[in-house]
């Protein structure tokens, strides 16, 4: 299975193109020569174990971390090394791992913080109504201090806050983290609806490979900072390696040494 950067067979210029990017996390090179494309209207997922470099990649795209080398091109313009607020203004919104809401602000104040870079204040009310239509609980709890929301409600708030930035591309980092299976299904159903109904292109980092591949169009697998697999979600779901290493479908049928040897060939 190819490990190249093309995310599908669509023609034309991708919305986002990551080209041979390398980023250090402290003294460690966390992502190594990563290349991938995301086309407008897609949901693309990045899979990998803890420490594979998934979060570092999203932080590099959103400007939180600077790459050592390589290019990041969004809508035909290079954005690597730009300030995070400039990248938000360009149309990329990052919903980070762990939600990172403002716990002492109200739910509504958190949502309005998502619009801080916008100048079209006349549209705020309509966009707030749109967020409430996907997450009615946020309207019900508008005046409540955000830190008192449940984990699932905080994740809804984090996504809603991102939507208030009117993104063309949303970077979602581990939206299922710490949620019950029922809430995971609910969150991912909303992610699919946002993509289909609002036209938001989504780059999704997720350890729950099964649910991520079912909602995504295309997927990449990161191992120790490198892309080792890239294909349509359907083909990745059918891959024996993905089934064994990320979906847990083969139990302990393989000896650990054999499993290690197979994974070593990806690097």
92-131 pLDDT, tens per residue? 999 999 889 999 999 999 999 999 888 887 788 899 999 9
Show which of 140, 166, 192 is a domain's final residue: 166
pLDDT attached to residue 240 = 87
CATH of the domain at 55: 3.40.50.300
49-83 pLDDT, tens per residue? 888 999 999 999 999 999 999 999 999 999 999 99
Choice among 38-47, 67-76, 244-253 with the minimum mean pLDDT: 244-253
Is residue 201 located within the same domain as residue 87?
yes
End-to-end CA gap in the chain: 13
**Unique residue bearing structure tokens 């009117």:** 166
Count CA atoms within 13 Å of residue 59 on its CB side.
16
Backbone φ and ψ of 177, nearest 5°: -60, 120
Kindly indicate the confidence band of residue 245, based on its pLDDT and cuts at 50, 70 and 90. confident
Is residue 245 located within the same domain as residue 217?
yes
> Is pLDDT at 146 greater than 80 in this prediction?
yes
In 77-147, alpha helices (H):
84-90, 107-113, 124-134, 136-140
pTM: 0.89
61 located within any domain = yes
> Is pLDDT at 265 greater than 60 in this prediction?
no
Token pair in block for residue 85:
């607020």
Domain coverage including residue 241: 1-91+168-251
């Amino acid at each position: 299975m190819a490990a190249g950067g093309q995310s599908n067979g669509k023609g034309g210029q991708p919305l986002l193109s990551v080209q041979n990017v390398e980023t250090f996390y402290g003294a460690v090179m966390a992502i190594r020569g990563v290349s991938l494309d995301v086309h407008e209207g897609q949901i693309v997922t990045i899979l990998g174990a803890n420490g594979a470099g998934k979060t570092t990649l999203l932080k590099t795209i959103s400007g939180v971390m600077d790459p050592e080398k390589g290019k990041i091109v969004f809508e035909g313009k290079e954005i690597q090394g730009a300030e995070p607020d400039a990248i938000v203004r360009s149309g990329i919104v990052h919903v980070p791992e762990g939600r990172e809401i403002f716990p002492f602000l109200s739910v509504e104040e958190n949502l309005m913080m998502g619009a801080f870079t916008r100048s079209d204040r006349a549209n705020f009310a309509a966009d707030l109504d749109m967020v409430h239509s996907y997450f009615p609980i946020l309207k019900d709890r508008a005046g409540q201090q955000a830190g008192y929301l449940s984990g699932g409600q905080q994740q809804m708030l984090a996504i809603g806050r991102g939507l208030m930035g009117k993104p063309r591309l949303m970077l979602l980092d581990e939206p299922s983290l710490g949620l019950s299976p029922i809430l995971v299904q609910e969150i991912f159903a909303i992610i699919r609806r946002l993509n289909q109904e609002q036209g938001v292109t989504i780059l999704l980092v997720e350890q729950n490979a099964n649910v991520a591949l079912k909602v995504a169009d295309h997927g990449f697998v990161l191992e120790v900072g490198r892309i080792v697999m890239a294909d349509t979600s359907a083909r990745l779901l059918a891959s024996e390696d993905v089934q064994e290493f990320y979906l847990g479908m083969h139990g302990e049928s393989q000896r650990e040494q054999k499993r290690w040897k197979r994974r070593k060939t990806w690097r």
